[in-house]
Structure 1
Amino acid sequence: MEETERIKFDVIGLCETKRRKPLSCTWKNGAGVFLGSRRENSTSGGIGFIVAPRLVQKIRQVSFPSHRIGVLDLQLDRKTKVSVIQIYAPTADKDEADHTDFYDEVRETAAKCRSYYKIISGDFNACVGPKRPYEAFIGPHSLEERNEAGERLASFCETSHFYHGNSRFQKAENRRWTYVSPNGVHKHELDHILCNRKVFTDVAVVPSFQTGSDHRLLRAKFHFNNIKAMLDRMARRRPPPTILDADAAERLAELHDFEELDSIDEDYHKLVAAITSIKDGCRKKKPNHITSRITEETRQLLEKRRNLKRTTHSHLEMTLLNRVCRERVAKDHEAFTRKRLMEAAESRTSIKLTARSIAEYRQVIPCLKDSEGRKVTSRLGMEAAIKEYYERLFHSPMTTAPSRLLTQRLGDTLPFTPSEVRHAVELMPSGKCSGEDKLVAEDVRACGHPLYVALAKRFTRYVEESRVPAAWKTSNTVLLHKKGDKEDLGNYRPISLLPVLYKVFTRSLLARIRRTLEEAQPVEQAGFRRSFSTIDHIATCTRIIEACREHQMPLVMTFIDYCKAFDSVEHHTVWESLLEQGVERKYVDVLKDCYSNCTTKFRPFNRPIVVPIKKGVRQGDPISPNLFSAVLESVIRKCDWDDFGVNVNGRMLNHLRFADDIVLLTHTPQEAERMVHQLDEVGKKVGLQLNAKKTKVMRNRFADPSAVRLSQTTLEDTDEYVYLGRLINMTNDLKPESIRRKRAAWAAYNTIKPAALTK
């Protein structure tokens, strides 16, 4: 990839990548890298593309119909569409049928492309030779005579109406050959670039591009309009990295009065602009920002290889130099990673974050399945699938106005104090992504006391007027893959990137209502509560299992799983639950305004997808877990479970919950079925939907083997279940859990292995 930074290019096509699995990612410099997989049960094949940073946002679709063909569709502007078809043709020793099938597939692929400009490039393993009198699409210039493979290529050009780019330009022999034999004696022109339009301005090899391959890079230039691309490139120039000078920011903040305006929205925009100006005016050069992975000695070797001319006498030297370069580059990359991870370990910073920061690329979504289960590879199609999925997920089916609890606002709002704001800001973690305001917690923290005073006044006003800035109702959402099929949108968790001042406000608000909410929670709920942890519920489960086994009592444990629980709760049930549990009306009203008329933006590629939010709590909002717990508590209260459960010291324990992870405890499957049915019926009223496929039943050997059903679905029985990070079984056998933990420990160790294996 470093070689690509030395040349000018828009798209580079790759042949013979030989990857086992496909890869779609964005490189650290912004370039898009798309690699297809090789042929199954073979080490040959594999096509790929490297797209320049300025063109990544122009990508419409990347697909790989086979291990020999890849298609890149670009939308350069409103009218200009380009399809780049990268190919790797069969070699001369293949059967005639293989060659015929290959060209038929290329012809079919080109016909499916709806772009005005179609470019076919790659290793054709063919020598075309100069044009013949009856040919209209072959040029007069060539390095050598046409061979049998060249006949096939020429026939394809004539029948499919593709102009042969190489032969249209006269070049010296040393600027025409693209392949050199292993002994360095024979040189051929095997790589070709075709186009269905006469838009070539030049086709020539790039001798300075050296990667150790026996092929040289062949570059074609076209007379597309490059003015807009040049302007985009100028706009995307990155300034040198800097960091915030916290001391200077606090001194500058003291000079601002942060005057409050009458309009909440105008006042908020002015406040954000003031913080932004302070942040931008107090930058200093980032120390040790050089991230070169290659040492100077290795660079000298690469430069030597670049300047070495391929001749018969230098063939052996070139072969040895290629091997040394590969080994040295790999060694330098390993040493760089080890050094950075060791520095993180010694400074007690996050190794995971450090590994992420030095990663050379980040993966992007290669393809998705739409609502009908069809695979979509075009970016427009994937964006449409995301929009459809989340519009359906966040749509509320409520058609009538929900009932309102008649409560009154009591007294005036106790003003927020700067110390409350400071405490909320100090609790916010560093290194998180910004929202629409482009501010992070470090920016607010750096402004210090003057900003805390200004925020305290505004937070008090928001609560008194039950109104927040409209900018807080817009968020950015990123999709994080959890596990399972990456093509299924259900396996992604949407995380909201909210304005940092909104998160400071909800943290301050949560500090005031936390005690009220926790007092309403029973001991069965251990999620997001102080002095509670997963260990409490794990110990309870194992103790109950042991007691039932010791006294030969039947035990049925039903592990509940919800479909998108946090994204499904109806908003009106959240406010009703808060009021039922004693939260003051003024705080409920301001939270209600925070969630009214909200929208979020997904940006999986480059174009924003705006989706209205009619239900669900924002994952990424500090107060969201407590809001969800309040709704779930309201649901459980409506379930008539008093006669169900396991008797523990005279008290019936019928369930345990950690946020939305619920386990039902009963003696019979009939009781479990009635509890599941009640939970499902009450949950549907607030928007919660049980996932029957992932809800599991585990029972000991004394329990009735009857099935537990939900509607017409039989819940699956299991012998073991991972509950809150612990593998639980009915014999309390720790061996499977020990094996699982060892496997997880080795997986975690492998992520820091370069730092652990220091020399």
Structure 2
Amino acid sequence: NYRGITLLSCIGKLFTSVLNSRLYSYLTNENILGNEQAGFRPKHSTLDHIFALHILSKSYIDQNKQLFCAFVDYSKAFDFIDRTYLWQKLIASDINGKVFDVIKSMYENAKSHVSFKNTLSNQFPCEVGVRQGENLSPLLFAIYLNDFNTFLSERYNGLSNTTESISNELHIYLQIFCLLYADDTLVLAESAIELQKALDSLHTYCNKWALNINIDKTKVIIFSKGRIRRFKSFKLGDNSIDVVDDYVYLGTTFNYNGTFNKAKAKQALQARKASYSLITRIKQLNLTLEVSIELFERLIIPILLYGSEIWGFECPKQLQAMFNKTMRKFLKLHKFTPMCMINGELGLKDISEYIENRMMNFWYNIATGIENKVSSVLYKWIKVLHDQNKYKSAWIEKVKTTLDITEMPNLFHDTTSVNKSCFKNNIKVRLEDVYAKRWSDSVFNNGA
């Protein structure tokens, strides 16, 4: 399972970086790149689509409806793009002239080597795919898949109920058929029949544009309040697609019932493994306590809390327990040593403080960011429903509560009074004050 890496000169990398920037600006200004694509785009991240799927799945579950989702895995998508089709899609996107000629010339007569045990093979032609690790490749792949959403829209209804509700509440017309993050593809439907239509369309699209799907890794989740028992598998061509209870989407585990218990367990396990490796390395290098704590915050916390911007409204008890156990082991303390004492001595933060800080910064980004971004539209939609008592979102409620305890409740309805850097600093400082008070209370209670 080896993949080639593109080796370019520094000047070549600089050139493709400039070309990528100019091409992206053109696609954005001309509104060519679909909003469903969030991969490798400025002011977009995996969190946007994780949030979008959470909001969509919970809205259907809480209405006693089902949301059918197919998680599609392509087989080495970047490596097997048909370049002839890629040139067609570039031209169809009005990318022509000198820019087109430059991109095409980069791939003409492309050759590769294989290096193995200090031996270098002869050159051989490389006639398919886009270059791995090259600045322009993600955008070229996004252009290659850019017509997928339109292709689906001509063959099934997508999330028509959500489209209607958003249109009624926000007067914004947002059709949702799929969510794309580079080659990570999620197809959504409101019924089994509709999802099968979507999968049939996906099969047709892949055959037309020479894309290969990894059947073993492509799965379906039916989001619902209760487990769907004995549901027959879906078909993708002649192959069956299994219905599963959970799936790791963009690094976060989604469960059919909308809870994130498995997501938190996964992050805790990964963080535990990473922390043991770090502790071993710290001992080998005989690092100081201050440096060790800094390494924990920079290396372990991001692993432990990946995706907490979305699932952080749920109780982080198991994550706090994992962190507490790890810190006691590292410091060689008794397992019943109060964490409030350890936190006070070392200046450690409570896991909940990290989570709330991350949640609030993500909230500010989608509340004030690109207006037509899928995550931003879905946030505004669910906020309106929440304000009108038509729907209660635990995520929205957590945001409101955090703004209340940090004495910034007015920001929930009006974010124009503070810029991003100011908000980021304010929320950090005010959360520190809140948790300092809680720490003081816990010390008093432990002392009592």
In the superposition, the TM-score normalised over structure 2's length comes to 0.57
Matches within 5 A, 1:515-664: 515-518=25-28, 519-609=31-121, 610-639=123-152, 640-641=154-155, 643-648=157-162, 649-650=166-167, 651-664=174-187
CA drift of 1:756 comes to 4.3
2:202 alignment partner AA: L
Q: Distance in 1 between matches of 2:27 and 2:209?
A: 19
Q: After TM superposition, what 4+ stretches of structure 1 lie above 6 angstroms from structure 2? A: none
Residue of structure 2 equivalent to 1:505: 15
Q: Distance in 2 between matches of 1:670 and 1:711?
A: 15
Secondary structure (helix, strand or coil) at the match of 1:717 reads coil
Is the Cα contact below 8 Å between 1:636 and 1:679 reproduced in 2? no
Pick the aligned partner of 2:242 from 712, 716, 721: 716
Residue of structure 1 equivalent to 2:263: 737
2:12 alignment partner AA: Y
Identity %: 28
Is the Cα contact below 8 Å between 1:557 and 1:699 reproduced in 2? yes
Residue of structure 1 equivalent to 2:312: none
Residue of structure 1 equivalent to 2:214: 691
Question: 1:217-264: per-residue Cα shift (whole Å, max 9, x none)?
Answer: xxxxxxxxxxxxxxxxxxxxxxxxxxxxxxxxxxxxxxxxxxxxxxxx
1:751 alignment partner AA: S
Q: Distance in 2 between matches of 1:601 and 1:500?
A: 20
Greater length-normalized contact order (CA 8 Å, ≥ 6 residues apart) = 2
Secondary structure (helix, strand or coil) at the match of 1:496 reads coil
CA drift of 1:510 comes to 1.5
2:14 alignment partner AA: V
Q: Distance in 2 between matches of 1:712 and 1:622?
A: 37
Q: Distance in 2 between matches of 1:516 and 1:641?
A: 29
Q: Distance in 2 between matches of 1:496 and 1:641?
A: 38
Q: Distance in 2 between matches of 1:748 and 1:539?
A: 26
Matches within 5 A, 1:93-492: 489=1, 492=2
Question: 1:651-677: per-residue Cα shift (whole Å, max 9, x none)?
Answer: 431211100101111122222222122
Question: 1:669-693: per-residue Cα shift (whole Å, max 9, x none)?
Answer: 2222221221222223322111111
Q: Distance in 1 between matches of 2:82 and 2:205?
A: 13
Higher helix share: 2
Pick the aligned partner of 1:676 from 152, 177, 199: 199
Secondary structure (helix, strand or coil) at the match of 2:76 reads coil
510-519 or 737-746, which moves further after superposition? 510-519
Question: 1:382-426: per-residue Cα shift (whole Å, max 9, x none)?
Answer: xxxxxxxxxxxxxxxxxxxxxxxxxxxxxxxxxxxxxxxxxxxxx
Q: Distance in 2 between matches of 1:622 and 1:579?
A: 20
Pick the aligned partner of 1:746 from 248, 269, 272: 272
Question: 1:457-480: per-residue Cα shift (whole Å, max 9, x none)?
Answer: xxxxxxxxxxxxxxxxxxxxxxxx
- CA change 1:604–1:636 in 2 (3 A) is farther
Is the Cα contact below 8 Å between 1:560 and 1:661 reproduced in 2? yes
Structure 1: 5+ residue stretches without partners = 1-488
Q: Distance in 2 between matches of 1:645 and 1:568?
A: 31
Higher strand share: 1
- CA change 1:642–1:679 in 2 (3 A) is same
Q: Distance in 2 between matches of 1:750 and 1:574?
A: 46
RMSD of aligned residue pairs (Cα, Å) = 2.0
Residue of structure 1 equivalent to 2:412: none
Structure 2: 5+ residue stretches without partners = 168-173, 289-448
